[in-house]
């Protein structure tokens, strides 16, 4: 398997615009417009439809955490931006209906002019899966079927899929995505997750990693490629990481040397609007503009 060559410097994206302090339309529009103007390459939004109350051992989150739906938020961002790429980082695929989700994401890709990156994960909070009737143990198999079924709806002349968890034929769905091959990213850091990235995705997303951890997972992806085949149409694998800890020029170079193509910055929790604007401006200094 080939991993995409790393350029002069990783692209810089911004995470978590679907939570405070950007839950009001004016605040979200202000930060998004500022970040796009400063050259940020992408916006990434995560998902938790529900959270355990009280928190469970596998969920450290306050159940009152305000986290808006990622597809809705990216639709809003599609309307107020023109260049920046829009990513789900990540959608919890086994908790979604794949036929409905395929329509939503295709529509979003069309309305954004082909800027969508569809990032998927399995989820890890058992009460969250139970709330939508999904057995935790089968979420990987369910997710792979859902992805294959959605790709048929996106790209096949005659969409059809027959599996254990989803079954359809003699149907069609339009609009199709603006992208000829809708860009798919998968998350997760287990050996199985790395194999799924190699076999099924254009890119892999690692969350809250240090440079040495990112390098170890890149090695793991290369090892996974010795076990599973990568379809040629997916092209070289792209590596995206949300870094843990401080990020400066030296740290940026460490991530580049580790094989990372994109760093998605996660602002500190609890920032107000003014502090978030300062964060976005300060970290724009890490962005390397493309030479003409």
Q: Where are the beta strands (DSSP E) in 68-145?
A: 85-88, 91-92, 116-121
What pLDDT, on the 0 to 100 scale, is given for residue 278? 97
Q: What is the mean pLDDT of each run of 10 residues along the chain (292 residues)?
A: 80 96 97 98 98 92 96 98 98 98 98 98 96 95 98 98 98 98 97 97 98 98 95 96 95 96 94 97 88 38
Where residue 43 sits, what CATH number does that domain have? 3.20.20.30
Nearest to 53 by CA among 127, 117, 116: 127
What pLDDT, on the 0 to 100 scale, is given for residue 2? 73
Q: Does 291 reside within a domain?
A: no
What pLDDT, on the 0 to 100 scale, is given for residue 8? 81
Let me know: does 106 contact 116? Beta carbons within 8 Å: no
Q: Does 96 reside within a domain?
A: yes
- DSSP-H helix ranges across 112-225: 126-131, 139-155, 191-200, 211-224
150 φψ region: left (φ > 0), alpha (ψ -120 to 50), beta (else): alpha
What pLDDT, on the 0 to 100 scale, is given for residue 233? 94
Number of compact structural domains in the chain:
1
Q: Does 2 reside within a domain?
A: no
Cα gap 248→230, rounded to integer Å:
34
Q: Does 3 reside within a domain?
A: no
Query: Quick one: three-class SS letters along 25-58?
Result: HHHHHHHHHHHHHHCCCEEEECCCCCCCCCCCCC
Let me know: does 46 contact 119? Beta carbons within 8 Å: no
Q: Does 80 reside within a domain?
A: yes
What pLDDT, on the 0 to 100 scale, is given for residue 218? 97
What pLDDT, on the 0 to 100 scale, is given for residue 292? 36
Cα gap 139→208, rounded to integer Å:
23
Cα gap 277→268, rounded to integer Å:
12
Q: Does 264 reside within a domain?
A: yes
Q: Does 135 reside within a domain?
A: yes
Domain span holding position 124: 11-286
Q: In the chain, what is the straight-line distance between the N-terminal and C-terminal CA atoms, in Å?
A: 31
Q: Does 249 reside within a domain?
A: yes
């Amino acid at each position: 398997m080939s991993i995409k060559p790393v350029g002069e410097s990783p692209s810089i994206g911004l995470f978590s615009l679907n939570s405070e302090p950007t839950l009001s339309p004016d605040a979200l529009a202000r930060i998004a417009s500022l970040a796009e103007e400063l050259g940020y390459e992408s916006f990434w939004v995560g998902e938790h439809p529900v959270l355990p109350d009280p928190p469970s051992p596998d969920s450290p989150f306050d159940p009152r955490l305000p986290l808006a739906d990622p597809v809705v938020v990216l639709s809003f961002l599609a309307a107020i931006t023109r260049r920046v790429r829009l990513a789900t980082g990540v959608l919890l695929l086994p908790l979604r209906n794949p036929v409905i989700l395929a329509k939503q994401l295709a529509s979003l890709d069309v309305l954004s002019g082909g800027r969508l990156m569809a990032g998927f994960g399995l989820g890890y909070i058992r009460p969250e899966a139970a709330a939508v009737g999904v057995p935790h143990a089968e979420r990987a198999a369910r997710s792979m079927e859902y992805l294959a079924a959605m790709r048929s709806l996106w790209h096949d002349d005659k969409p059809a899929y027959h599996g254990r968890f989803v079954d359809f034929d003699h149907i069609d769905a339009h609009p199709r995505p603006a992208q000829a091959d809708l860009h798919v990213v998968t998350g997760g850091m287990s050996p199985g997750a790395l194999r799924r990235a190699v076999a099924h995705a254009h890119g892999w997303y690692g969350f809250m990693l240090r440079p040495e951890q990112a390098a170890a997972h890149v090695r793991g992806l290369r090892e996974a490629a010795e076990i599973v085949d990568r379809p040629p149409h997916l092209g070289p694998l792209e590596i995206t990481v949300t870094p843990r800890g401080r990020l400066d020029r030296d740290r940026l170079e460490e991530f580049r040397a580790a094989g990372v193509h994109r760093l998605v910055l996660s602002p500190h929790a609890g920032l107000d609007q003014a502090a978030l604007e300062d964060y976005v401006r300060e970290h724009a200094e890490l962005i390397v503009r493309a030479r003409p």
